[in-house]
Structure 1
Amino acid sequence: MTTQRWANDLAQIVNPNNIKLNESLKKYTMTKLGGNADIFVLPETEEEATAIVKYAHEQNIPILMLGNGSNMVVRDGGVRGIVICFQKLDEIRVDVNQIYAQSGALVINVSKLAAINGLTGFEFACGIPGSVGGAMAMNAGAYGGEIKDIIIDCTVLTKEGERIVLTKDELELEYRKSIIAKKEYFVLSSRFQLEQGIQEEIDAKIADLTFKRESKQPLEYPSAGSVFKRPPGYFAGKLIQDSGLQGKGVGDAEVSTKHAGFIINKGNATATDYIETIKMVQNVVKDKFGVELELEVKIVGEDLTT
């Protein structure tokens, strides 16, 4: 079997215990949706990650990068080839006013470490649930701050497994865009430039942003976060709310009554339910306001075959 041969080859690169066949991706995504991965592999070092990507390229095997699964919807048919997850690449360290973070480190944890060390500039990210790799790929932002405001450089792998360092300008960071997403690079690590701040002010800002997030977002349900990008001149959530779509959806997927920009999984939704709800929202908003909502979340994988 081809998949087993790939797994045997990968076992020469990583610990066999970190290779899983036909692994359900529901437990790795914030929506708790999606089918299985043919092969799911967790590298423990950047060298292992590099070797896996090179192997996939040489063998012409499709490969998908998965971070914290916060901005991704996996279709019910799952993902063919290799899903590489960088959760174990989660080192974070402080060097004076700079922070180094590997791809799998959680953005929230980077923000916490910055605050503990009296560094300001990362407070905006205190509630972003994704990984550093995902945040880099989409130039994640919240409450007036963005990754591009603090990034120094980012080390990535090309699809061929070549390691390169991209400067801030080379990253081409725009609203929810980057060269990383465009070229389908794999983020290994990033460096951020912060400033010494006043501890009380840092703590107060984080407390304020945490309150806003917890009071306005449906954190009690699985979701992919903000589903749509902000349309020029509008707010996606306001358009959806004004379309009367809150509480509506397909199956157990529903437009949140707490924040219209979120689509939640009430418990037993399928990825198909979630995606059909997205399409329904896009169609209604287009009909009512003439605005096309562009996805912020990434939809990957295959539909179930009958």
Structure 2
Amino acid sequence: MNTNEIYQYLLTILPQDDLKQDEPLKNYTYIKVGGKADIFVTPSTYEDVQRVVRYAHEHQVPLTCVGYGSNVIIRDGGIRGITMSLVKLNSIHVSEHERTITAQSGAAIIDASRTALAHSLTGLEFACGIPGTVGGALYMNAGAYGGEISFVLAKAIAVTLQGEMYHLSREDFAFGYRQSSFASNHAIILEATFELEEGVYAAIKEKMDELTYLRESKQPLEYPSCGSVFKRPPQHFAGKLIQDSGLQGTKIGGVEVSTKHAGFMVNVSNGTAQDYIELITFVQTTVQQKFGVMLETEVKIIGEDNVAE
């Protein structure tokens, strides 16, 4: 694969401001780790997304889609082919008559929650502290404090890996715990419409303030982290298992199991992706030995271990 040829072609279909070579991906992840992207694109229209996807499909160029990087570990070798971020697709539109909010996939789910508050619409309060994009929230059926995306999502628009745009309704999403149809078919989400209820501004704000307090008091927000590292195992809580295994404060390289919340791993001292991966493996092994429970990662680990020669 000739990266320069791919870059030169993409220059013919994208503005130069939307296209970079050898871009450090640590600049786009919450935990500040990750190698370089061969080519990094930030399309600003649906048509440009389709053009990039079609090109990648037709020329068999690897294509990886990322959002805010809040729930991902990108390995230190970076990502080959094209890495596409949709953060420039970030508009949010409200239809008060229909009590819906339509948000593009690159918009922050927190901003969608705040927009709902501004229009006294209830249903997205749970998302007021989730640090990801709308697209990422759909992809993993994000949730917190008893709420999740599947409760409020009405419809969406996505692009297939062949570059064809299509519409989805509620029954098409195949939602489960931290999973959706997008995780299996790898379609690229363009926008989502949330169906909410009319509410009272003061009550909605009170709920959001309460959830914000809970998050700030319990989570280690003072350090870079990727949120909850592990999914909740059946009949257990990952954080409790890690805590009861005596693992809080365990450190590999610059990454540590948080002493504030055992379900989090924080980058306390210039940690690397490899530090994260080794610490995850150590925690999984220890918990399985002590309690017979294999923790499954909620965070997505992508990219290459080493830079291609």
TM-score of the two chains, using structure 1 as the length reference: 0.98
SS of aligned partner of 2:247:
coil
SS of aligned partner of 1:234:
coil
Residue equivalent to 2:208:
206
Give the CA deviation at 1:249.
Answer: 2.2
Amino acid at match of 1:48: D
Indicate whether 1:270 and 2:291 are aligned.
Answer: no
Amino acid at match of 1:44: S
Residue equivalent to 1:255:
257
- Inter-partner Cα distance in structure 2 for 1:202 and 1:36: 41
Structure 1 residue runs of 5 or longer lacking an equivalent are none
Please list the CA deviations of residues 158-196 of structure 1 after superposition, one character each: whole Å capped at 9, or x if unmatched: 111111111111100111010001111111000000011
Amino acid at match of 1:153: K
| Runs of 4 or more above 2 Å deviation | none
SS of aligned partner of 1:169:
helix
- Inter-partner Cα distance in structure 1 for 2:16 and 2:239: 45
Structure 2 residue runs of 5 or longer lacking an equivalent are none
- Inter-partner Cα distance in structure 1 for 2:89 and 2:100: 19
- Inter-partner Cα distance in structure 2 for 1:301 and 1:155: 27
Residue equivalent to 1:53:
53
- Inter-partner Cα distance in structure 2 for 1:232 and 1:194: 30
Residue equivalent to 2:303:
301
TM-score of the two chains, using structure 2 as the length reference: 0.98
Amino acid at match of 2:75: R
Residue equivalent to 2:219:
217
| 1:132-151 matched pairs, under 5 angstroms | 132-151=134-153
| 1:1-306 matched pairs, under 5 angstroms | 2-96=2-96, 97-304=99-306
SS of aligned partner of 1:233:
coil
Amino acid at match of 1:284: T
Amino acid at match of 1:99: I
- Inter-partner Cα distance in structure 2 for 1:158 and 1:84: 14
- Inter-partner Cα distance in structure 2 for 1:221 and 1:267: 10
- Inter-partner Cα distance in structure 2 for 1:182 and 1:221: 32
Please list the CA deviations of residues 71-102 of structure 1 after superposition, one character each: whole Å capped at 9, or x if unmatched: 10000000000000001000101011100000
Give the CA deviation at 1:40.
Answer: 0.3
SS of aligned partner of 1:224:
coil
- Inter-partner Cα distance in structure 1 for 2:269 and 2:118: 36
Between the two proteins, the alignment pairs up a number of residues equal to 306
Amino acid at match of 2:90: D
Give the CA deviation at 1:267.
Answer: 2.8
- Inter-partner Cα distance in structure 2 for 1:176 and 1:209: 20
Give the CA deviation at 1:203.
Answer: 0.6
Please list the CA deviations of residues 239-269 of structure 1 after superposition, one character each: whole Å capped at 9, or x if unmatched: 0000000000210110000110000111310
CA RMSD of superposed structures (Å): 1.0
Please list the CA deviations of residues 195-238 of structure 1 after superposition, one character each: whole Å capped at 9, or x if unmatched: 11011110100000000000100111111100000000000000
- Inter-partner Cα distance in structure 1 for 2:242 and 2:30: 22
Amino acid at match of 2:3: T
Percentage identity across paired residues of the two chains: 52
- Inter-partner Cα distance in structure 2 for 1:198 and 1:18: 41
Amino acid at match of 1:10: L
